[in-house]
Amino acid sequence: MAKVQVNNVVVLDNPSPFYNPFQFEITFECIEDLSEDLEWKIIYVGSAESEEYDQVLDSVLVGPVPAGRHMFVFQADAPNPGLIPDADAVGVTVVLITCTYRGQEFIRVGYYVNNEYTETELRENPPVKPDFSKLQRNILASNPRVTRFHINWEDNSEKLEDAESSNQNLQSLLSTDALPSASKGWSTSENSLNVMLESHMDCM
């Protein structure tokens, strides 16, 4: 069984201007002392169309991790707007938090992110060249999508056969029917992302 369980992720400073750093407060629990550090990554999906626009915002080692419940804040700089296709600057995309142990990814937490202009004028007439400084980033914190993978936690041996490789197709997150096996969350199935997002945004 997994030695590390993520109990909670709190999205801090949300919503916030586009250039503000991402902040996630992560609470996790470990059932026994880990001999190696955990590696956490924040990946910003620049465009739903292609993986090539994915940006690893930062990666951080977390350790030492004794048995118990722990928390930390993972802060990472905002994505480089130069790497984001203009067409995808405004609208919904995804930010991923992944954690790996011994190079094996065992959990992936995905959030929908909506970038939009706050000013009505801009909203109605978006400039052709996006003005990132005017964009507001809104992470749909209430609806994390958690995917867990079985990995080999032991020091010794070979990887488990069913362990998913870490370079999972990120795009699959956006199309719910192509989910990796261990999905727990992403169950909104055929719901159109936008419909869902809008309903949530209304709540906010």
Q: How far apart are CA 86 and CA 49, in angstroms?
A: 13
**Which is closer to another protein, CB of 119 or CB of 162?**
162
By CB under 8 A, the residues from 68 to 87 that bind another protein are 68-75
**Which is closer to another protein, CB of 50 or CB of 191?**
191
Residue 9 CB, nearest distance to another protein (Å)?
7
DSSP assignment, residue 134?
G
Stretch that binds another protein, among 84-92, 127-135, 166-174, 183-191 (CB under 8 A): 183-191
Contact criterion met (CB below 8 Å) for 80 and 46: no
**Which is closer to another protein, CB of 12 or CB of 174?**
12
Sign of CA dihedral 109, 185, 14, 69: negative
Q: What are phi and psi of 134, to 5 degrees?
A: -95, -5
Q: How far apart are CA 30 and CA 153, in angstroms?
A: 12
Helices (H), 24-175: 86-89, 120-124
Stretch that binds another protein, among 49-57, 65-73, 77-85, 165-173 (CB under 8 A): 65-73
Q: Give the residue, chosen from 166, 185, 193, 196, that forms a contact with another protein under the rule CB under 8 A.
A: 185
56 counts as binding another protein under rule CB under 8 A:
no
Q: Give the residue, chosen from 50, 56, 64, 191, that forms a contact with another protein under the rule CB under 8 A.
A: 64
Residue 114 CB, nearest distance to another protein (Å)?
19
- Give the number of residues written for the chain: 204
128 counts as binding another protein under rule CB under 8 A:
no
137 counts as binding another protein under rule CB under 8 A:
no
Q: CA–CA distance from 94 to each of 143, 155, 173, 194 (Å)? A: 12, 33, 8, 13
Contact criterion met (CB below 8 Å) for 53 and 85: yes
109 counts as binding another protein under rule CB under 8 A:
yes
- Footprint of another protein (CB under 8 A): 1-2, 5-10, 12, 23, 25, 27-28, 31, 37, 58-75, 109, 144-146, 150, 181-182, 184-185, 187
